[in-house]
Chain A
Amino acid sequence: MKTVNQRAWFLVLPVLFLVAFNALIPMMTVVNYSVQETFGDNLFFWEGLGWYEQILTSDRFHAALGRQFLFTGLILVIEVPLGIIIALSMPRQGFWVPVCLVLMALPMLIPWNVVGAMWNIFTLPDIGLLGYFLNHTLGINYDMTQDPLAAWITIITMDVWHWTSLVVLLAYAGLVSIPDAYYQAAKIDGASNWAVFRFIQLPKMKNVLTIAILLRFMDSFNIYTEPFVLTGGGPGNSTTLLSIDLVKMALGQFDLGPAAAMSLIYFAITLGVSWLFYTLMTKDDLN
């Protein structure tokens, strides 16, 4: 009979430390804040679940959450189909493949705050290339510091410019892995272009698209730097997404308790949606 060697647990220690210092301990301090009230001087008073109740019932949180889902929903609806279309129209072999890949990867290599600053300057009505062109050449009244619609169009366009490439590259990787025989068989079976897309390309891209959508969901749901640099959440609160609102609450108003409660709710939503989506997408593979 084999003796059970419990010392094997020591092998798990490095990971335990890593996860503890990386995630668990910082998160527990947030949990700690979320159930207490503090007035500085290291004085804390027990609050229970009061802050959670306050956040969950506040109009301000609802509005920010609504804006967040609108933003994430819009960019997913645009970036995923657009990414697939671009990937489908990219060459499969030859000289242009590396050229396309590098051009596609370029926006993703730019630091996030630089992207925000670039688009800010680009869209300034009087000196920005796009802003000037729209206002003075086309005569369209466009000023994202005044008009919420213009601000929304700008942050959506910026995110599409910045991140569609991620979907493109992942979808492209899925496409090039399809053996030629599938296309040949489809030709012989008399399949239309749509049928080839629907029954060969889309199923073969399913796994990479799941990853792409998951990454884009998490990144866009937690987005902070680019809209902060571009609009600062304005005009008014029209582009105040969850993370911008959270920072305002935590560092602007120094409401540590409610901010901590909000962080945890925010985290739970991100985690919950990601889990739900991933489970639904991989459900078929398990059977």
Chain B
Amino acid sequence: MAKITLSNLRHSYYPDPKGPDDYALKMIDLDWNDGGAYALLGPSGCGKSTLLNIISGLLVPSEGRILFDDKDVTELAPTERNIAQVFQFPVIYDTMSVRDNLAFPLRNRGVDETMVARRVAEIAEMLEVTDILDRKAAALSPDNKQKVSMGRGLVRENVNVVMFDEPLTVIDPHLKWKLRSKLKELHQRVRATMIYVTHDQTEALTFADQVVVMQDGEIVQIGTPVELFERPAHTFVGHFIGSPGMNILPCETQGGAAMFRGKQVALEGEIVPGDGTRTEIGVRPEFVTLAESGIEAVVRKISDVGRHIVVETLIGEDRVAAIVKENAPEKGETVHLNFRPDRTRLYRDGWLATTAGEAAQ
């Protein structure tokens, strides 16, 4: 158990990186609190697996340090860090039984056999694999195999952190949900720090207390699922989280007001002064309403997703999605859109540039 600190971390897979583009991780400064459930969310290739491998010690970063509590572990091998990692594809030792698989990390460390038996029984009970302990691991179904690899990660006591690298990729959809809630339950029972890497927002938002969103080797936002949804710090977060993602509309600023196609758009608060060339308005489809008057738009497509209806419209060439409960307009119809002011924000060069208004608090 430990607090994990990443300080000034940079990593490049090239021996001699030239520019920022050569870095898989650009500059990471991050604290993971002891016992937290974290998700590391981002699209494929954003550097999240690299970051994970640096924490586990499979990779040594080009620059920067990793601290477990106050101990510098940057150069330590994975075994010396006392961490656990579960991989995308279940890693099991084919020739061993489930029991021996679970006992393997303990036996390698010379743990006493009575202690091994006790821990294996505990973990097997937690993962509900007690009845298959004597089966050969090679013959298990993918979800049971993944449970066994999770079990190997959890079997050691006092691991500093358990990391999951997209562990549900090969699991059938109906079992994904089960395993995900199992993981959440496990976290509450063992209270170890857990980091869950995924590109699936549902997995991240259901598992984690804190979600770290990454893009192009950088952290764009850290926050609770609600914060990420309500107040994205970057248009990427707005777009990546939510279904459909946030509407992003190019706009201009004039004297402290946002102008979209010549009309002023009310924002949540003051525009933060700063330089930047590209300004955009961001508003989630959940906060776009159809009304009698407002910005004129043409309905392009209607999708009924069950719980609500997604109305895709065009304002000139800009696409805006709105979510309505009922009374959806027809395709091709002209509608008027209203943006809820306390949920409408200005982004400058991608980053949030409005102060939180009173209404938002």
Distance of B361 from chain A, by nearest CB (Å): 44
Distance of A287 Cα from B85 Cα, bound (Å): 30
Distance of A179 Cα from B91 Cα, bound (Å): 9
- The interface residues of chain A lying within 8 Å CB-to-CB of B351 are none
Q: Return the contact of A199 from the options B77, B79, B93, B139 (Cβ within 8 A).
A: B93
Contact indicator B109/A200 (Cβ below 8 Å): no
B260 at the binding interface (Cβ < 8 Å): no
Distance of A101 Cα from B325 Cα, bound (Å): 65
**What are 19 A-B residue pairs whose CB atoms fall within 8 Å in the complex?**
A179-B89, A181-B87, A181-B91, A184-B58, A184-B85, A184-B87, A185-B87, A188-B56, A188-B83, A188-B84, A188-B85, A189-B152, A191-B104, A191-B108, A199-B96, A199-B104, A203-B95, A204-B94, A287-B136
Given contacts A179-B89, A184-B85, A200-B93, contact A195 B108 (CB under 8 A): yes
Closest to B93 in A: A199
- The interface residues of chain A lying within 8 Å CB-to-CB of B344 are none
Given contacts A187-B77, A187-B79, contact A192 B108 (CB under 8 A): yes
B33 at the binding interface (Cβ < 8 Å): no
B354 at the binding interface (Cβ < 8 Å): no
A190 at the binding interface (Cβ < 8 Å): yes
Contact indicator B79/A190 (Cβ below 8 Å): yes
A46 at the binding interface (Cβ < 8 Å): no
Distance of A179 Cα from B88 Cα, bound (Å): 11
* 11 other A-B residue contacts (CB within 8 Å) besides A181-B89, A185-B149: A181-B87, A184-B56, A185-B91, A188-B79, A190-B79, A190-B108, A192-B108, A195-B108, A199-B95, A199-B96, A284-B136
Distance of A168 Cα from B249 Cα, bound (Å): 61
- The interface residues of chain B lying within 8 Å CB-to-CB of A189 are 104-105, 108, 152
Distance of A76 Cα from B310 Cα, bound (Å): 69
Distance of B84 from chain A, by nearest CB (Å): 6
- The interface residues of chain A lying within 8 Å CB-to-CB of B108 are 189-192, 195
Q: Interface readout for B37-75 with A: 1 if CB under 8 Å, 0 if not?
A: 000000000000000010010100000000000000000
Contact indicator B105/A190 (Cβ below 8 Å): yes
Distance of B326 from chain A, by nearest CB (Å): 48
- The interface residues of chain B lying within 8 Å CB-to-CB of A179 are 89
Q: Interface readout for B119-149 with A: 1 if CB under 8 Å, 0 if not?
A: 0000000000000000010010000000001
Distance of B257 from chain A, by nearest CB (Å): 53
- The interface residues of chain B lying within 8 Å CB-to-CB of A199 are 93, 95-96, 104
A182 at the binding interface (Cβ < 8 Å): yes
What is the interface of chain A, defined by CB distance below 8 A to chain B? 179, 181-182, 184-185, 187-192, 195, 199-200, 203-204, 284, 287
- The interface residues of chain A lying within 8 Å CB-to-CB of B36 are none
Q: Return the contact of B94 from the options A190, A192, A203 (Cβ within 8 A).
A: A203
Closest to A185 in B: B91
- The interface residues of chain A lying within 8 Å CB-to-CB of B136 are 284, 287
Distance of A17 Cα from B340 Cα, bound (Å): 82
Distance of A191 Cα from B85 Cα, bound (Å): 14
- The interface residues of chain A lying within 8 Å CB-to-CB of B53 are 184
Interface centre among B56, B83, B108, by most A CB within 10 Å?
Answer: B108
Distance of A192 Cα from B139 Cα, bound (Å): 25
B245 at the binding interface (Cβ < 8 Å): no
Q: Interface readout for B95-110 with A: 1 if CB under 8 Å, 0 if not?
A: 1100000001100110
Interface centre among B91, B105, B152, by most A CB within 10 Å?
Answer: B91
B78 at the binding interface (Cβ < 8 Å): yes
Distance of A187 Cα from B81 Cα, bound (Å): 11
Distance of A152 Cα from B254 Cα, bound (Å): 96
Distance of A187 Cα from B139 Cα, bound (Å): 24
Distance of B244 from chain A, by nearest CB (Å): 34
- The interface residues of chain A lying within 8 Å CB-to-CB of B105 are 188-190
Q: Return the contact of B78 from the options A181, A182, A188, A203 (Cβ within 8 A).
A: A188
Closest to A181 in B: B87
Distance of A187 Cα from B114 Cα, bound (Å): 24
- The interface residues of chain A lying within 8 Å CB-to-CB of B152 are 185, 189
- The interface residues of chain A lying within 8 Å CB-to-CB of B77 are 187
Closest to A179 in B: B89
Q: Which 5 A-B pairs give the minimum distances between C-beta atoms?
A: A190-B108, A185-B91, A181-B87, A189-B105, A190-B79
Closest to A190 in B: B108
Contact indicator B85/A185 (Cβ below 8 Å): yes
- The interface residues of chain B lying within 8 Å CB-to-CB of A181 are 87-89, 91
- The interface residues of chain B lying within 8 Å CB-to-CB of A284 are 136
Contact indicator B139/A287 (Cβ below 8 Å): yes
Closest to B110 in A: A190
Distance of A128 from chain B, by nearest CB (Å): 47
Distance of A190 Cα from B139 Cα, bound (Å): 24
Distance of A27 Cα from B70 Cα, bound (Å): 79
Given contacts A199-B93, A287-B139, contact A190 B109 (CB under 8 A): yes
Q: Interface readout for B175-202 with A: 1 if CB under 8 Å, 0 if not?
A: 0000000000000000000000000000
- The interface residues of chain A lying within 8 Å CB-to-CB of B89 are 179, 181
- The interface residues of chain A lying within 8 Å CB-to-CB of B153 are 188
Distance of A181 Cα from B93 Cα, bound (Å): 12
Distance of A195 Cα from B87 Cα, bound (Å): 19
Distance of B142 from chain A, by nearest CB (Å): 14
- The interface residues of chain B lying within 8 Å CB-to-CB of A287 are 136, 139
Distance of A200 Cα from B93 Cα, bound (Å): 6
Closest to B163 in A: A188
- The interface residues of chain A lying within 8 Å CB-to-CB of B78 are 184, 187-188
Distance of B55 from chain A, by nearest CB (Å): 11
Distance of A179 Cα from B92 Cα, bound (Å): 12
- The interface residues of chain A lying within 8 Å CB-to-CB of B109 are 190
Distance of A195 Cα from B96 Cα, bound (Å): 12
Distance of A189 Cα from B104 Cα, bound (Å): 7
Distance of B91 from chain A, by nearest CB (Å): 4
Which residues 1-60 of B sit at the A interface, judged by CB distance below 8 A? Answer: 53, 56, 58
Distance of A192 Cα from B107 Cα, bound (Å): 11
